[in-house]
Amino acid sequence: MRPVLIPDLADGAMSRWPVYAPAVHAEGVRAVFAFPLQVGAARLGVMDVFRTRAGMLSPDELTLALTFAEVAVATLLDGHDSGGAGVADGWLDDPLGSRAELFQAQGMVMVQLRVSLAEAMVRMRAHAYVHDRRLYDVAADVVARRLSFDAPQP
């Protein structure tokens, strides 16, 4: 599944989606961008981004939207802990704490490896998976400088 990017609802979308497009257009939406939330073949949902003016997302906006989609997937997959606490006992109680640290770590890895933000997130997720760790624990180690991606990994 790929993102669906509709930079101008008035340009063909009205006939493609004859109920949806006119309804959101009537509410002032001029562009819609849908980003799949998935891991491999497992589809978890879609993140929609709406714009009140027509126009394609800039490369930076597109990168940011893809990063938010990655964070949403990570939240859905990592939003539990083995102690039986639910998602609400975690990130919903501290919505900026671990998220801010995740974004900071992502930026640090981006600089260390000289890659895009999206690639930095992929690298952190891969490291977490290979070492059977939570993504947010990896991020905490990056921010605390206990883990560096520019050095050989054990």
Helix H segments across the chain?
A: 13-16, 20-26, 59-78, 97-113, 117-130, 135-143
pLDDT digits over 72-82, tens only?
A: 887 777 654 43
DSSP string, 67-89: HHHHHHHHHHHHS--TTS--GGG
Question: What is the token pair recorded at 20?
Answer: 């949806």
pLDDT digits over 98-121, tens only?
A: 677 888 898 899 999 988 888 888
**Beta partners for 32?**
6, 50
Residue 119 confidence (pLDDT): 84
Residue 109 confidence (pLDDT): 92
Residue 101 confidence (pLDDT): 84
Residue 97 confidence (pLDDT): 52
Q: Is residue 153 very low, low, confident or very high in pLDDT (cuts 50, 70, 90)?
A: low
Ordered structural domains, the chain, with CATH: 1-56 (3.30.450.40), 58-154 (no CATH)
User: What pTM was computed for the model?
Assistant: 0.52
Q: Is residue 50 very low, low, confident or very high in pLDDT (cuts 50, 70, 90)?
A: very high
Residue 96 predicted with pLDDT over 60: no
Q: Which phi and psi angles does 49 have, rounded to 5°?
A: -125, 125
Task: Specify the amino acid at residue 28.
Answer: G
Cα dihedral angle (44, 110, 3, 100), rounded to 10 degrees? Answer: 50
Q: Tell me which residue has tokens 């704490």.
A: 97
